[in-house]
């Protein structure tokens, strides 16, 4: 099987390597020539430009796009005149599923198929495999099965779910055809929405552990400071990195994200190499928008998203309004 790949950043390059390890022939292109060269050394066929990439692929072509969501539409427009009916474009990035719907409708005019693939696994995917959530027409998705199987982790040593037996299903191998166009990115979007909230759960809990010793500190006794009812209740110096470690074994909250948190805390227990400005890259927003549109309560997912906004100072004017109100009704001045 042969696959064209456009976009050889962190994710795209690793995916190409994993595919080639599984015997998939990769024709690759990136706007940065150094990225192409690195993969040529690993066995890929480099392309000079998009036209060259298309030329080097046999029909029907399969081209995997692995670039920031904001650039996908432009890339598709560039590719359309180069492609032939029956070819397939795959968006493996983090596109909004509503864009998938529009793209598939746009491409059907040219007889080009469109497959959306939500990809989870991050920088570890080369080694662990990528969890793939796929949307598109049945036959088109089936034709790509060798690609998906190569990228996915496979069964590994993870125990089978109760009741599952016989030939392992796709899902048990780490990839799933979720439904028609858009279904892949829809499921991946929700995946990331969940991810934000799980991350926030650990972060909030560990932040509380870090505050477990505040009973020892001096505290103002004035009308602007909430009293600490019994300082003896907060006299613990908890070793947060050790706690992250102990939770990894046997606890109910063991997870891969916890493993990574233990890694980070092991390297730098105070995390003072970070300032705490947390980015969000779209899927968390879309998950919450989808929930709002569908009338589904997501108190937890939304709180995790808004915490990220707040971490970047976006609540500042709201906070000033609160201080202003407190001054107006109570003559309260902000504490410095």
For residues 6 and 29, the answer to whether their CB atoms sit within 8 Å is: yes
In angstroms, how far is CA 8 from the centroid of its own chain? 17
Q: Is 251 in the site for a copy of itself (CB under 8 A)?
A: yes
Strands (E), 66-179: 88-91, 113-120, 131-135, 175-179
Comparison of 15 and 54: residue with beta carbon closer to a copy of itself: 15
Residue count of the chain, please give it.
Answer: 336
Window 260-299: residues binding a copy of itself (CB under 8 A): 260-268, 271-272, 274-282, 284-285, 287-299
CB of 66 to a copy of itself, least distance (A): 11
Concatenating the DSSP letter of every residue in 27-70 gives: EEE-SSHHHHHHHHHTTPEE-SSHHHHHHTSPSSPEEEE-S-GG
Q: Is 149 in the site for a copy of itself (CB under 8 A)?
A: no
CB of 244 to a copy of itself, least distance (A): 8
> How many residues of this chain bind a copy of itself (CB under 8 A)?
177
Window 7-46: residues binding a copy of itself (CB under 8 A): 9-10
Q: Is 305 in the site for a copy of itself (CB under 8 A)?
A: yes
CB of 51 to a copy of itself, least distance (A): 24
Buried/exposed code over 152-168 (b: 16+ C-beta within 10 A; e: otherwise): bbeeeeeeeeeeeeeee
Instruction: Give the pairing of strands 131-135 and 113-120.
Output: antiparallel
- Binding flags for a copy of itself, 159-198, as an x/- string (CB under 8 A): x-xxxx----xxxxxxxx-xxx-xx--xx--xx-xxx-xx
Window 89-118: residues binding a copy of itself (CB under 8 A): 94, 96-98, 101
Q: Return the HEC string of 82-110.
A: HCCCCCEEEECCCCCHHHHHHHHHHHHCC
Name the segment binding a copy of itself (CB under 8 A); options: 43-51, 54-62, 75-83, 127-135: 127-135
CB of 45 to a copy of itself, least distance (A): 26
Query: Which one of 85, 111, 154, 216 is in contact with a copy of itself (CB under 8 A)?
Result: 154
Q: Is 75 in the site for a copy of itself (CB under 8 A)?
A: no
């Amino acid at each position: 099987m042969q696959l064209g790949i456009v976009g050889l950043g962190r994710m795209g390059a690793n995916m190409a390597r994993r595919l080639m390890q599984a015997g998939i022939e990769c024709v690759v292109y990136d706007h940065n020539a150094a990225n192409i060269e690195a993969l040529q050394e690993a066995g890929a066929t480099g392309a000079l430009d998009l036209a060259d990439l298309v030329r080097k692929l046999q029909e029907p072509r399969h081209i995997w796009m692995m670039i920031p969501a904001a650039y996908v539409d432009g890339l598709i427009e560039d590719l359309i005149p180069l492609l032939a009916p029956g070819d397939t474009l795959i968006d493996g990035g983090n596109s909004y599923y509503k864009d998938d719907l529009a793209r598939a409708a746009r491409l059907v005019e040219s007889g080009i198929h469109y497959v959306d693939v939500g990809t989870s696994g991050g920088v570890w995917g080369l080694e662990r495999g990528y969890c793939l959530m796929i949307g598109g027409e049945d036959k088109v998705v089936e034709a790509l099965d060798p690609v998906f199987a190569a990228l996915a982790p496979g069964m590994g040593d993870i125990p089978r779910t109760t009741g599952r037996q016989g030939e392992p299903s796709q899902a048990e191998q780490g990839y799933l055809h979720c439904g028609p166009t858009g279904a892949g990115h829809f499921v991946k979007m929700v995946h990331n929405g969940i991810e934000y909230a799980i991350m926030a759960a650990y972060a909030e809990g560990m932040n509380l552990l870090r505050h477990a010793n505040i009973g020892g500190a001096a505290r103002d006794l004035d009308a602007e400071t909430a009293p600490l009812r019994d300082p003896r209740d907060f006299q613990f110096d908890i070793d947060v990195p050790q706690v992250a470690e102990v939770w990894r074994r046997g606890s109910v909250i063991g997870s891969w994200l916890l493993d990574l948190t233990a890694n980070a805390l092991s390297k730098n227990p105070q995390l003072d190499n970070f300032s705490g400005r947390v980015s969000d890259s779209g899927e968390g927003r879309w998950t919450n928008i989808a929930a709002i549109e569908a009338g589904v309560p997501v108190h937890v997912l939304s709180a995790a998203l808004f915490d990220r906004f707040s971490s970047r100072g976006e609540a500042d004017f709201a906070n000033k309004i609160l201080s202003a109100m407190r001054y107006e009704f109570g003559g309260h001045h902000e504490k410095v």
